[in-house]
Structure 1
């Protein structure tokens, strides 16, 4: 098991990988005590069965420059293969200002190829590579050195088996003509905006109890302050204050330290110093926000706006279409999408591209009364009307 700790050795490996059609990539990181992920290990492999075709890269070694790796990531002739790539890509986008391309995500590909929703790496290794992954090192501290042999074996298995999984899925997509389907799904992962958290938009993740514009303005300012503080100090946002404490502050609207100190949910550290000052300022700014700057309350679908019978039919249609296509239902449309359609929405991601071909077109025809559904045995059939 080779661990690269010098820039020259990494450059030599990346040069050889640059001659291969693809390279598999994975990372090990920690994020429990920081806002940004702490990169602890990088695993790389390209086609072959030799010991030098799969390596570990130790980014915690002083003096190691990852520039050769980022150059490989930008090489248009080498496909960069990940499984469930979102968090790995976030690390490289933030630390190296680079999003690997061309890109392939085996989790997305597996969902398109009929392996179910959110299929795990171990499942694909077992079903496709006929191998096993030792999970005993999964939750170890990857920042501690030296790494054990068990940790190294576990880490390397994440990219060596991935070669077999990738080749199988890529061939299946080519055979079925669904490679463009996966490319559509990868657009979000390729977009740099996916990995940027805008503090002024952070409030949208909150489950607010009071949707009044003024309360939302206070929530917006508190969430923005929390996000900015967490980013600057590289601490988890929950270490600043948690969502329940934020919502309590929206309701209590403290004007000074004395009122702030009466909070039941605020951490002790947040009742003084920079955090306390930031909270009081955010509340004041939210209360003073001009009317034209107040956030609009999110639109809520009333239950009586949803055609329940139509929603049930859409679920039956989605299940039948997903099974026939061999694609995970969740990848086509969510339960919320179905409720939207049943309440009158006639556009969404489900209506375009491959989703439209598989489900969206017939979903709209069902809404318009142009088709009906019929069952024969276990089969659900579409019956044209009119």
Structure 2
């Protein structure tokens, strides 16, 4: 973990500009630089207001849910699926998502949008339109969404699952035919260049669940075509069981060779029975009831610690986004949450908390300055405060000066 840890020497000054020598000050961590994320889908209904058809959030308690969510995570992914964002042409969900993103940002959360271009969850009003018109509308959607949320949401999954996009056959949509006609690289270029034009400061992610050589070939083709991507997104929904440190390490090494940050965009571990191994498409396994179990919860707690340790230990990994805090309304009905449907914590929540807010966190700690008014602080890269005054620990900063009151 040494690549995650830094050290900074602070010179602590009083309001008169003089060093506070031999003075006890309180140092504490406020935020990790590493992006520990989770989806914030439930917040849309809780903060932005329920959608007319209902979105499963109405019976959650915002204060309790927010306490648990904010207790672990500093980055939220919000849903921008085109078919739900704009179910009727020209009528978007911009108001609810804006309110939600602002609420999260006010609490120090970095907000990400998912996804700009995808062949699933598409608006039915695209069907029957010509390919050129679909492309024009898609380009317009990317520009409007990214430009409209610039400054509030500056990280996006620009395109999702482009490897299978031209051959996707699970339901009629207008994007698959477009991808089949234009090609994968052209679709990636469309997503990234339109998003970049709308917000040059945005961080744009190429995201996929296909971690085979097919994804590597796509990445190589995109880079050779001169398309600038900011991060490689890797999905690891492990409904069929934890893949293990050896698999994950080898996979991360394969994608790290492109010299781009790696974002673990969608990660899950179940706390009930495992999905049968013969299922190829996880969407094909949907059962009436998939309960969490005591045995499964203990397994999940052990595996989530191993999973996060191995990911954070890899220098190319920049973020981990877990796909759901609660079992209530979880994807495919799987018990992947860190809290149960009734809102109580699973062992996995406490185990992950012991890492993120325990082992990898500096709680309020009293330290004494030396004769020059200096104190050296060592910890995980991120935001800190001394006597309430903020400073950072980062690879770039080795010394800094902070001004505080004459006493802590």
**Coarse TM-score class (shorter-chain normalised):** under 0.3
Structure holding more strand per residue? 2
Q: TM-score, normalised by structure 2?
A: 0.24
Structure holding more helix per residue? 1
Larger Rg: 1
Q: TM-score, normalised by structure 1?
A: 0.25
Which one has more relative contact order, counting CA pairs under 8 Å at least 6 apart? Answer: 2
